[in-house]
Structure 1
Amino acid sequence: MSLEDRWRTIDATQFSDGVLYLSAMVEIQPRMPDWGLPNMPDIMGRLDEDRPHGGDEASGKLLCLRCMAIRARRGEAPAPIWMYFQRRGALRLFCHIGSNQVHAEHMPESAEHKALVEREVQTCVRVGASVDTEVRAANGRRRADFVAVGPDVVLAGEIQRSTEPARRIGQRQRDLSRDGKRVLWTTDNVEPGFLKNVPRLVIPNLTGWQQALRDPELAIVAGMTLVEYQRCGWSDQWSGTTRCPHTNSLRPCGKIHAYPTLEANTHTYRPTSGPVMQFGMGNRPHLDVLVAGIVLGDWLPYQRKARTGYQFVWMPTEDYKRFVEDRGGTDTESAERNAGLIRQRTGTAERNCETDRNPPSVVIDLKPAWSDRHKNTLNWTSHQGGDPAPCRHCGRPAIARDEHGLPMHKTCAEKLLAR
Structure 2
Amino acid sequence: MANGVWHTRYGIEINLSLPDLGHPDRPDLLREITSSVADRDPQLLECLAHHDGRECLSESGGKSPWMFIRRGRIGGRRPLVASHLPITHKATSAESAQHKATKERIIETASRCGLDAEAEVSTANRRTISDALITGPTGIRIGWEIQYHHISPSSVHRRSVNAVRHEITPLWVAKDRTASLIDRAPWARVDDMPWKDISDGREMLIRGGYRHLQVWKCVPSSDRHCPLTDGAGHCDGVHAEWFLPALCQPEKKAVHLEDLVLASATGESVPVYVPNRGSGRAGRHMWVPATDCERWRELVGEKVPLPVVPGKEEDDEITFAEQEIDRTCRAGEEGWFVSDARPIRDLGQPTGGFTLPRMPLRRSVKPTLITSVERAAASAALGCPPWELGLCAGCGQLMRRSGRHAAMYCAVCRGTLNGR
Q: TM-score, normalised by structure 1?
A: 0.51
Select which of 209, 215, 222 maps to 1:223.
Answer: 209
Confirm or deny: 8 A CA contact 1:237 1:259 kept in the other structure.
no
Q: Which runs of 5+ in 2 are unaligned?
A: 1-5, 15-19, 34-40, 48-64, 71-88, 230-234, 308-347, 352-356, 359-387, 401-405
Aligned partners of 1:194, 1:78: CA distance in 2, in Å? 23
Distance 2:10 2:117 in 1: 32
Mapped partners of 1:179, 1:77: distance in 2: 23
- Partner of residue 148, structure 2: 161
Q: 1:180-195 residue pairs with structure 2 within 5 A?
A: 180-192=167-179, 194-195=181-182
Question: Is contact 2:152-2:180 (8 Å) kept?
Answer: no
User: Which deviations, in whole Å up to 9, do the C-alpha atoms of 1:145-175 show, x marking residues without a partner?
Assistant: 1222222211211011123332222112112
Whole-angstrom distance in 1 between the partners of 2:237 and 2:90: 55
Q: CA deviation at 1:310?
A: 1.4
| Contact 2:186/2:287 (<8 A) preserved | yes
Aligned mates of 2:349, 2:290 — CA distance in 1: 24
User: Which protein is bigger by CA-based radius of gyration?
Assistant: 1
Residue of structure 2 equivalent to 1:409: 413
- Supply the distance in 1 between the matched residues of 2:109 and 2:135 (Cα, whole angstroms): 12
Conserved 8 A contact 2:131-2:144: yes
The question of whether the paired residues in 2 share the 8 Å contact of 1:236 and 1:259 is answered with: no
Whole-angstrom CA distance in 2 between matches of 1:288 and 1:95: 38
Does residue 1:100 correspond to 2:75, yes or no? no
Q: Which runs of 5+ in 1 are unaligned?
A: 1-54, 84-91, 243-248, 265-280, 335-342, 347-351, 354-385
Matched, 1:289 2:266: no
CA-CA distance at 1:200 after TM superposition:
0.2
- 2:158 is matched with 171
| Superposed counterparts of 1:313-332, under 5 Å | 313-332=286-305
How far is the alpha carbon of 1:397 from its aligned partner? 4.3
- Name 1:25's counterpart in structure 2: none
Instruction: Summarize the Cα distance change of 1:314–1:77 in structure 2 as closer, same or farther, 3 Å threshold.
Output: closer
Post-superposition offset of 1:321 = 1.9
Q: Name the counterpart of 1:16.
A: none
Residues 287 and 102 (structure 1 numbering): CA distance in 2 closer, same or farther, change over 3 Å?
same
Structure 1 230/393 Cα, relative in aligned 2: closer, same or farther at 3 Å?
closer
Cα distance, 1:300–1:75 mapped onto 2, change above 3 Å: farther
What letter is aligned with 1:166? Answer: P
What whole-Å deviation, never above 9, does each CA across 1:246-270 have from its counterpart, x for those lacking one?
xxx9556xxxx98645449xxxxxx
TM-score (structure 2 length as normaliser): 0.51
Q: Distance in 1 between matches of 2:46 and 2:168?
A: 35
Q: Using the TM superposition, give the Cα deviation of residue 414 of structure 1 relative to its aligned residue in structure 2, in angstroms.
A: 5.6
Q: For this pair of structures, how many residues does the alignment match? A: 268
Identity of aligned residues (%): 21
* Matches for 1:10-409 after TM superposition, within 5 Å: 76=26, 93-98=42-47, 99-101=65-67, 110-151=96-137, 152-192=139-179, 194-204=181-191, 206-227=192-213, 240=227, 250=236, 260-263=242-245, 283-306=253-276, 309-333=282-306, 389-390=391-392, 392=394, 395=397, 397=399, 409=413
1:344 Cα deviation from its structure 2 partner = 5.4
Aligned partners of 2:273 and 2:286 also within 8 Å: yes
SS state of the match for residue 293, structure 1? helix
CA RMSD in angstroms, aligned pairs only: 4.9
Change in 2 beyond 3 A, CA 1:117/1:393: same
229-238 vs 211-220, which deviates more? 229-238
Please state how far the C-alpha of 1:289 moved relative to its aligned partner.
0.5
